[in-house]
A and B are shown apart, each in its own frame.
Chain A
Amino acid sequence: VLTQFPLSQSVTLGQPASISCRSSESLVHSNRNIYLNWYQQRPGQSPRRLIYKVSVRDSGVPNRFSGTGSGTEFTLKISRVEAEDAGVYHCMQSTHWPPYTFGQGTRLEI
C-alpha cells in the first residue's frame, strides 16, 4: 500500500512544494533498483510520468522537479512552483508487480 501526504496542498507561486509517499513494504527489487514513479495529472488531462526509479526525470520535465527516497519513504519536490504545476500528483510502484499500485493522489493548488 502506498500512502501519500498531504492529500491537498496550497502553495504560493515561486515557493517550494513537497509531497511524500510511504510504502507499507520496501520497494527495493532483488536487482537493487527501486521502481517508484511520480505522475502529474493536470486538470482534465491524463497522467504524465515525471520521474521513474525514484529520481530519474523524464525527457522534457523541468529540473525544478526532483525525486528522492529509499526503501519505503519517497518525496517529490518542486523547487519553485509555477502556475502550470497545478494538478494532482500520484506516486506508483512497479517493484511488486502485478499489480501496479498507486497512492491516493495529492492535489496541488497554486
Chain B
Amino acid sequence: QVQLQESGPGLVKPSGTLSLTCVVSGGYITMNHWWSWVRQPPGKGLEWLGEIYHSGETNYNPSFKSRLSISIDRSKNQFFLTLNFVTAADTAIYFCARASSGTYPNDGFNIWGHGTVVSVSS
C-alpha cells in the first residue's frame, strides 16, 4: 500500500525559501501517476500548487509558477517542493498527494500524506 510522508522546516522567515520533501513508500515513484503538492492555509480551502511525473515533466498552478519548483529523485523515491520569496500568506499545511493515474484527465488524488505545517514568520 503506497504511503506518502512530508517533511520540512516548520518555520521559514519572510522572503526566504521553503523546501519540502515527500517520501513515497510501499511503491515506486516511477509508477504511472502524477505526484502533487497541495496546501491549506489556516481555516481555508485546498489549493493545488503543482505536480511532477517521474520523467521530470512538471505542471504548475499559474498563481505560483514564478516562484515554485518541483523536482524528483527517483533513486530515493522522493519528490520535492521549493517555494521562493515566501510571505505570511504562504503559512499553511502542505500535503503531498498522488493522482489516480499519469494520464490526462484523471480522477484526482486518491492518496494523500498526513501534511506538514509551515509557518512564515520572523
A interface with B by C-beta (< 8 Å) = 29, 33, 35, 37, 39, 45-49, 52-53, 58, 90, 92, 94-95, 97-105
- Decide yes or no: A105 and B46 within 8 Å by CB, A52-B107, A94-B105, A94-B108 being known contacts: yes
Measured between beta carbons, the chain B residues less than 8 angstroms from A105 are 44-46
Contact call A29/B105, Cβ cutoff below 8 A: yes
B100 touches A52 (CB 8 A): yes
Say if the beta carbon of B26 comes within 8 Å of chain A.
Answer: no
A contacts with B: majority SS: loop
1/0 contact string of B95-109 vs chain A (CB within 8 Å): 100011000111111
What is the total of A-B residue contacts with beta carbons within 8 Å? 72
Chain B residues within 8 Å of A94, by CB: 99, 105-108
Binding site for A on B (CB under 8 A): 36, 44-48, 50-51, 59-62, 95, 99-100, 104-110, 112-115
Q: How far is the CB of A46 from chain B (nearest CB, A)?
A: 4
Tell whether, in the assembled complex, residue A92 and residue B108 are in contact, meaning their CB atoms are under 8 Å apart.
Answer: yes
Are A35 and B107 in contact (CB-based, < 8 A)? yes
B105 lies within 8 A of A97 (CB): yes
Known: A35-B108, A52-B107, A95-B105. A101 touches B48 (CB 8 A): yes
